[in-house]
Amino acid sequence: MSDTLLANLNPEQLAAVTLPDQPALILAGAGSGKTRVLTTRIAWLIQTGRVSPQGVLAVTFTNKAAKEMLTRLSAMLPINVRGMWLGTFHGLCNRFLRLHHRDAGLPQTFQILDTQDQQSAIKRLMKANGVDDEKYPPKQVGWFINNCKESGLRPGDVEVNDEFNRKYVQLYQLYQDQCEREGVVDFAELLLRTYEVLLKNIPLRTHYQHRFSHILIDEFQDTNTLQYAWLRLLAGQGEYMSDIDRTRAAESKRIAVANIFAVGDDDQSIYAFRGANVGNMDSLVRDFQVRNLIKLEQNYRSHGHILNSANALIKNNAKRLGKELWTDAGVGEQVRVFEAPSDLAEAQFVLEEVGGLTRDGWPRSQCAILYRSNAQSRAFEQGLMRHGIPYRVYGGLRFFERAEIKHALAYLRLMENPHDDTAFARVVNLPTRGIGARSVEQLQDMARERGTSLYGAVAFLAGKAGTSIGAFVKLIDGMRFATQGLPLHEIVEHIIDASGLLAMYRADKEGEERIENLEELVNAARNFNAEEGYALDAPATQAEAENELPSPLAAFLSHASLEAGDNQAQAGEDAVQLMTVHAAKGLEFDAVFLTGLEEGLFPHENSLKEDGGIEEERRLMYVAITRARKRLYISFCASRMMHGQTRYGLKSRFFDELPEEALRWLTPKISGMGTGFSAGMRDAWQRGGGKPFGDADYGGGAVPAFAKPQTSHGWRLGQGVRHPKFGEGVIVNLEGAGNDARAQINFGEAGMKWLALSVARLERV
């Protein structure tokens, strides 16, 4: 049995899977079989009796990854994997807090705020306390709070050095009080609260430390400070112990030191912007004295030219653990590089190539169009739509984030916990029942005065506002009474109707889709297995033994918060895949179109200001390149519609970092940082007279028309120039006339400059 499990692993993979019980870090390059190693490791540990399923803690970042591992595991092992502690950080913490809610000081029915909910809670709080939201933007406040929590800091722990800071900390405190009062937790709180319980509650901590003898983590490079501290604590390496204590404790077996098995790739760390700390990889090696550092460098995905491009690019990053992918698949095709005169022309090019690939028998689902920012998808979507090519866009609104779904969920949340003010405020006047901003304000004042929730404050309201809001409370209470004891999907069905949501969308001529989504919510409730994730083969703690499980409705609501669901599923059809590079991480396609490779877009201009920003952009580019199996296209545009304006860009600096022999230019290659627009093309472009999109000839002739006012000084937008000091650039803006005329020029790496045309020694190129 063990033979089949380990068959077809390469030597490094085999070494990783069968490592003895010691801390290990696996540096797994893109396409090197990372998930396979992780799941096979778990299966092998269990199969060889080194650990029981109960003793394994396996953590991932996304639900998708967790599901994938569960699926693979159940195929490898003849056991029920449901009860295993395998899941996302947040999912596992949710499970922990439900089981130990008393130790955590939470109501058993605590609700989870997603990002939207958190924002509205902050806004509500700021309004109630009369805080200027211009000076303290709610987004910034939320960002501050999450950052604090992710660094393990409570309001009292934050260092205050100025007035501004003081206000933020004060808001953090108010927000935290509000959450406590309402019995809600945000995402970061799930982790921090779990961490604190484990830190303070020694019996509980000891129990879990003994229980989890093997801890495995996927995408370790994406862990943040708190997540790492959490892992360290569970692994029995908490910072609360001195080295001596730890050794002594381990020797006396009072504290178990778990075998940590982390899999990651520093070159694919692309989430620093949301708190991920690649430095955790070094810390892990140090803190756990990792002697087993295994590199998985054989790539089973991409052909040679593609892989060489990725390797050459990432070599430009200074801080790396060092790793070079190789393949025995042969060099394959060169990377195709294409310059388009405009974003629409770029879309047209991609469309025609996809058409060609499809005719040659490539499945559409194996063609991916990748871009740096979501806004870029529009041009492609319009083109695909026009040509009737099926496509699927990832990102954007997901099922449980849709307004109508959030409304229905708010009613459901009020069933579980009427003191959830976020939910209350969301639907108190939805559908409209004559309770406007004024009345809600009054209610909020009252709630603050009496120190109760909005729901609790209703009893104190007098006058007209009192009666209409009183009716709302009666409605909520009535719905709770009516749904008592009903199966989950019937509860959902009932509240959708009784709340008036259904009637509201029926009356709306564009409400049809929303009604369908609400019906889908009923289906989701019907198919929801409430025990999932809580079913334990053998209860290991007292709480587990008491089987104190949340109600199906509470479980369903957590599920809705923790797993926002898929987005628009035009599933079933063979469709072209569109997504950002971030969203593409972990996926692979036969053909990849990597688009919008322009300075300012990729690398993104905002990244230039950030510490290590360029290196992160480069890793992002590395991730993008390594998504491709057989064919890779990289394209850029001379002009692009952005924010309603035409902008002129330069090709990305990353082109200079790719090996020439791996590239095949489909349009004439240009040297330096010029736009590469040939004179003839530029003139054609200048003449305008563009045809409507769809007839565009991307080869260089007609391109969409742009407004090109004739200027007295003879310079024009998009003109390529050379400056003695700054090198080559492109005019992106013109101002003034005569001697005062100035031009804004994008010199690429030398930056964006405003130059007086009468003074600057500019040459046309």
CB of 535 to DNA, least distance (A): 19
Is 91 an interacting residue with respect to DNA (CB under 7 A)? yes
CB of 327 to DNA, least distance (A): 28
Applying CB under 7 A, among 10, 63, 173, 201 the residue interacting with DNA is 63
- The annotation status of 30 as a binding-site residue, yes or no, is yes
Give, as one character, the DSSP assignment of residue 326. Answer: B
CB of 63 to DNA, least distance (A): 4
Under 8 Å between Cβ of 666 and 700: no
Under 8 Å between Cβ of 679 and 746: no
Between CA 413 and CA 416 the distance in angstroms is 5
764 — phi, psi (to 5°)? -80, 145
Exactly one of 12, 182, 186, 219 is catalytic; name it. 219
For helices 138-150 and 187-200, the axis angle rounded to 10 degrees is 30
Identify whether 627 is a catalytic site residue: yes
Structure tokens at 699: 């080869």
| 720-723: strand order across its sheet | 752-756, 742-746, 727-735, 720-723, 763-764
Structure-derived torsion over alpha carbons of residues 170, 171, 175, 177, reported in degrees to the nearest 10 = 20
The rounded Cα 146 to chain-centroid distance in angstroms is 15
Applying CB under 7 A, among 564, 594, 734, 755 the residue interacting with DNA is 564
Structure tokens at 595: 């688009």
Applying CB under 7 A, among 203, 355, 356, 436 the residue interacting with DNA is 436
Is 214 an interacting residue with respect to DNA (CB under 7 A)? no
Between CA 311 and CA 307 the distance in angstroms is 6
Identify whether 109 is a catalytic site residue: no
Strands (E), 284-440: 292-296, 335-342, 367-371, 391-393
Is 381 an interacting residue with respect to DNA (CB under 7 A)? no
> What's the Rg (C-alpha) of the chain?
29
Q: Strand 645-648 to strand 628-642: parallel, antiparallel, or no bridges (unpaired)?
A: antiparallel
Identify whether 162 is a catalytic site residue: no
Structure tokens at 553: 């409705």
Amino acid identity of 406? Answer: K
Which residues is 27 bridged to in the sheet?
264, 295
Applying CB under 7 A, among 47, 88, 194, 483 the residue interacting with DNA is 88
Residues 602-641 as x/- pattern, contact with DNA by CB under 7 A: --x-xx--x--x------x--------------------x
Is 373 an interacting residue with respect to DNA (CB under 7 A)? yes
Is 273 an interacting residue with respect to DNA (CB under 7 A)? yes
383-422 residues near DNA, rule: CB under 7 A = 395
Interface size with DNA, residues (CB under 7 A): 46
The rounded Cα 335 to chain-centroid distance in angstroms is 28
Binding region for DNA (CB under 7 A) out of 415-423, 530-538, 559-567, 750-758: 559-567
Identify whether 3 is a catalytic site residue: no
Is 511 an interacting residue with respect to DNA (CB under 7 A)? no
- The annotation status of 365 as a binding-site residue, yes or no, is no
Between CA 720 and CA 735 the distance in angstroms is 17
Amino acid identity of 298? Answer: Q
CB of 654 to DNA, least distance (A): 14
Is 551 an interacting residue with respect to DNA (CB under 7 A)? no
Is 644 an interacting residue with respect to DNA (CB under 7 A)? yes
Exactly one of 18, 35, 62, 442 is catalytic; name it. 35
Is 583 an interacting residue with respect to DNA (CB under 7 A)? yes
Is 316 an interacting residue with respect to DNA (CB under 7 A)? no
- The annotation status of 40 as a binding-site residue, yes or no, is no
Identify whether 219 is a catalytic site residue: yes
Residues that bind DNA (CB under 7 A): 61-64, 88, 90-91, 114-115, 133, 187, 270-271, 273-274, 372-375, 378, 395, 429, 432, 434-439, 465, 562-564, 579-580, 582-583, 604, 606-607, 610, 613, 620, 641, 643-644
Binding site listing for ATP = 28-35
Could you give the residue numbers annotated as active site? 34-35, 218-219, 268, 627
